[in-house]
Structure 1
Amino acid sequence: MRIVDLIIKKREGIELSDKEIEFIISNYVSGEIKDYQMASFLTTVVFKGMTPKEIGKFTFEMMKSGKIIDLSAINGIKVDKHSTGGVGDKTTLVVGPIIASLGVPVAKMSGRGLGHTGGTIDKLESIPGFSVELTDEQFISQVNKIKIAVIGQSDNLVPADKKLYALRDVTGNVSSIPLIASSIMSKKLATGSDAILLDVKVGNGAFMTTIEEAKKLSEQMITIGKQLNKDVRVEMTNMSRPMGKAIGNKNEVLEAIETLKGNGSKDFIELCYSASATILKQAKVTDDEKEAYKMIDEVIKNGKALEKFYEFIKYQGGDVEKLKAKDFWNPSFKLEVFAKKDGVMEITSALDFGIVASKLGAGRISKEDSIDFEAGIQINKKTNDKVKKGDLLFTLFSSKAISNELVEELEKAYTINEKEVENKIILGKME
């Protein structure tokens, strides 16, 4: 078997066999197939696509290219939630404790942020003492004891995806639904959960900019899940605007806490409740949406979800007292942005807010960059809020002096209108 023959076969639109796909992945990971050959194969896939059978096998071979976590020792239906990346997306910090407080085991592996999107692991590491590194035994034991653990992605998890993603990035082969779907699903499936909720972000702050693209990706990922006997469901959510009122790390942790107290912003509460309800159905706690919402409401109102959050932080070494202290988030510099006229706020670009937050120090431009946990943006006026001239719109925070140029960059990301605009949060659900 030769890779050149398989490239030609794929180019001619002939479906590859299971053995041929296994040959491609295993030989690329071992180095037998060179980058220039694999780049040619990936380019062919971008133009010719893949059949559902090919995508399923491609994902499976990527998944088993490295370590697969065995969660069979965890009691119950293990659930995981994955977001395709957004601005102000601290959903895991709220949904995880809600679900765990209702007795559903949450065994989650999360990533760091890169570019304009924030990472769950970065937010958790902003809490003094919190450790994202647990052995498999510690991870399983913690989920069995308190129903939730969140760890960083292991270096030996899905090495095929690491190699392929790096190659796709530098050869212009990122925008392919089959390749995106197999990349996401190989990592999720390798972490061993029984049920996976995928939050597919749509809009200018997301990788999928249109609902049509998001539906195609969602269909592919659900199909992969079915082929590998996993319950995979999708919620497509709006990422044309930042989620919630905080963008950053420490300030997003604080917003998550406020949301668990019942004081979250309307859009973020809607996202968290919807995701939690879907997961409760996947975990077979209830098959009734209204009942699920009642259960979520109850653990917010009686404080059990917040209690679970603090327990989870403490179990992974986080200093809960420092987290609760008034000076937990204590940036040295701030710059306020005020309204220049009366009207109704419309935030038009999550992407620009994410980029400005990164430039303040809240995110990474390259993987080697360190993060300023104090940096970020607080949004005082959300889309469709009434605004009067002189009202505080946003506050920029950092540990270093803040340039007025960043305020100018933000000016292209919002407008003040005469009337309200449509602002749907949940754009669609698929299963």
Structure 2
Amino acid sequence: MDAIEVIRAKRDRGELSTAQIDWVIAAYTRGDVADEQMSALAMAILLNGMNRREIADWTQAMIRSGERMDWSALDRPTADKHSTGGVGDKITLPLAPLVAACGAYVPQLSGRGLGHTGGTLDKLESVPGWRASLSNDEMLDVLRTAGAVVCAAGSGLAPADKKLYALRDVTGTVESIPLIASSIMSKKIAEGTGSLVLDVKVGSGAFMKDVTTARELAETMVALGTDAGVRTVALLTAMDRPLGRAVGNALEVEESVEVLAGGGPEDVVELTVRLAREMLEAAGVSGAKDPAKALQDGSAMDAWRRMIAAQGGDPDAALPRAAETLTVEAPASGVLSRLDAYAVGLAAWRLGAGRARKEDPVSFGAGVTLHAKPGDPVRAGQPLLTLHADETSRFERALEALDGGYAVSDAAADHLPLVIDRVTAG
């Protein structure tokens, strides 16, 4: 078997056999298939697609390229959540300790931000002392101590995916649904969780811009999880406007702590509670405490403090603040009819909250605070947004990103519902 044979098969709209998929993934991982050959195959997959069996085989081959984690030593079921990413999407921060407080273990491997979407690890690293890199034994210790762990994936987990992901990023093949789905699910299945809830974002600030494409991705991932024996469900949720009122690393941690203290923005609380209920149901936790109650009685906050401390962080430490701020005022009186998620995310990125390349540093205090949400009444001259940055030189480009990204009108505009749809196996 050789790479050219496999490339030609998919180029000519053929169906790759299980043997071909197993061979090409293994050969690429060990370096026997060159990057240019895998690039050609990825482009052929982007253009011609894969059927369910091919995607499942591709996913399993990537899982077999590395280790598979095992949480069978734990005395409670495990549940995890994955979001496809958005602007102000800090849900993992309150969600993981909340689900832990309600009776399930949450082993969550998370990533860093790239471009206009934030990364969970970047947010948590704004907490002084918090550590993202843990060994498997350390993960198990944190789970037993706190009930939840959020950390970086080790190099031994689906190394084929890590290598292919970097290649897709520079070859224009990121958008392939089979490759997106297999990338996400190979890591999540290898992570060893018993159940998984997927939060597939839809809208300008998300990777999937429309409901139809998002549903296709959700259905594909749910099928992959189900076929692998992981109970999987997906929610399609809105990302046409930012989630919550804070966009940026430390700003989002601060807002997450407000949620855990029983407050916080209504949309963040609603989505956190909905996802927590889905995770507990998927995990089969009987007699679980209702997540809404756990946010009010302090048990979720207790789990957060244990989780942060178990990973070296100080839950009482002051969070980083940007050195400079700039207020954007409402241009007229009326209703904030539009606040585009992508524009706000791009502005936060230009302020220093995100990175253009994976190796770039981030400014923990940089970001955007929203003083109004779409549908809120505003007055001319009222603070609409506050921009946070370490250098005033960043404000000009952030303002350029926001130009045309918001509007004040006489009446509110239509927006996507926060939870658009629920996708299950079937």
Q: What is the CA–CA distance in structure 2 between the aligned matches of 1:12 and 1:331, rounded to whole Å?
A: 54
Contact 1:84/1:201 (<8 A) preserved: yes
Using the TM superposition, name which of 202-211 and 36-45 deviates more.
36-45
Q: CA deviation at 1:89?
A: 0.8
Mapping 1:55-94, distance limit 5 Å: 55-94=55-94
Please state if 1:380 is matched with 2:380.
no
Q: CA deviation at 1:227?
A: 1.4
1:245-274 deviation per Cα after TM superposition (whole angstroms, max 9, x unaligned): 001111110100111122211211121111
Using the TM superposition, name which of 133-142 and 252-261 deviates more.
133-142
1:335-364 deviation per Cα after TM superposition (whole angstroms, max 9, x unaligned): 001112111113342111111111111111
Q: State the one-letter code of the partner of 1:392.
A: P
Counterpart pick for 2:360 among 351, 369, 375: 369
Q: State the one-letter code of the partner of 2:407.
A: T
CA RMSD, Structure 1 to Structure 2 (Å): 1.6
Q: State the one-letter code of the partner of 1:129.
A: G
Q: What is the CA–CA distance in structure 1 between the aligned matches of 2:206 and 2:4, rounded to whole Å?
A: 35
TM-score when normalising by structure 2: 0.95
1:313-353 deviation per Cα after TM superposition (whole angstroms, max 9, x unaligned): 11111112214xxxx34322110011121111133421111
Gaps of 5+ in 2: none
Q: CA deviation at 1:157?
A: 2.0
3-state secondary structure, aligned to 2:316? helix
Counterpart pick for 1:352 among 343, 348, 351: 343
1:179-225 deviation per Cα after TM superposition (whole angstroms, max 9, x unaligned): 11111111111111111111111111111111000111111111111
Contact 1:75/1:144 (<8 A) preserved: no
Contact 1:100/1:106 (<8 A) preserved: yes
Please state if 1:296 is matched with 2:287.
no
Contact 1:314/1:320 (<8 A) preserved: yes
Gaps of 5+ in 1: none
Contact 2:353/2:362 (<8 A) preserved: yes
Q: Which contiguous aligned blocks of 4+ residues in structure 1 show a shift greater than 3 angstroms?
A: 11-14
Contact 2:78/2:105 (<8 A) preserved: yes
Q: CA deviation at 1:405?
A: 4.3
Contact 1:347/1:413 (<8 A) preserved: yes
Q: What is the CA–CA distance in structure 1 between the aligned matches of 2:53 and 2:367, rounded to whole Å?
A: 44
Alignment partner, residue 277 of structure 2: 277
Counterpart pick for 1:416 among 408, 414, 417: 408
Contact 2:77/2:285 (<8 A) preserved: no
The verdict on how the C-alpha distance between 1:408 and 1:169 changes in structure 2, with shifts beyond 3 A counting, is: closer
3-state secondary structure, aligned to 1:237? strand
Q: What is the CA–CA distance in structure 2 between the aligned matches of 1:411 and 1:13, rounded to whole Å?
A: 44
Please state if 1:430 is matched with 2:404.
no
Q: State the one-letter code of the partner of 1:430.
A: V
Using the TM superposition, name which of 35-44 and 109-118 deviates more.
35-44
Q: What is the CA–CA distance in structure 1 between the aligned matches of 2:273 and 2:225, rounded to whole Å?
A: 24
Q: What is the CA–CA distance in structure 1 between the aligned matches of 2:3 and 2:400, rounded to whole Å?
A: 51
Q: What is the CA–CA distance in structure 1 between the aligned matches of 2:398 and 2:169, rounded to whole Å?
A: 28
Contact 1:261/1:303 (<8 A) preserved: yes
Alignment partner, residue 227 of structure 1: 227
Q: State the one-letter code of the partner of 2:57.
A: K
Q: CA deviation at 1:379?
A: 0.3
Alignment partner, residue 399 of structure 1: 390
Q: What is the CA–CA distance in structure 2 between the aligned matches of 1:384 and 1:347, rounded to whole Å?
A: 8
Aligned residues: 422
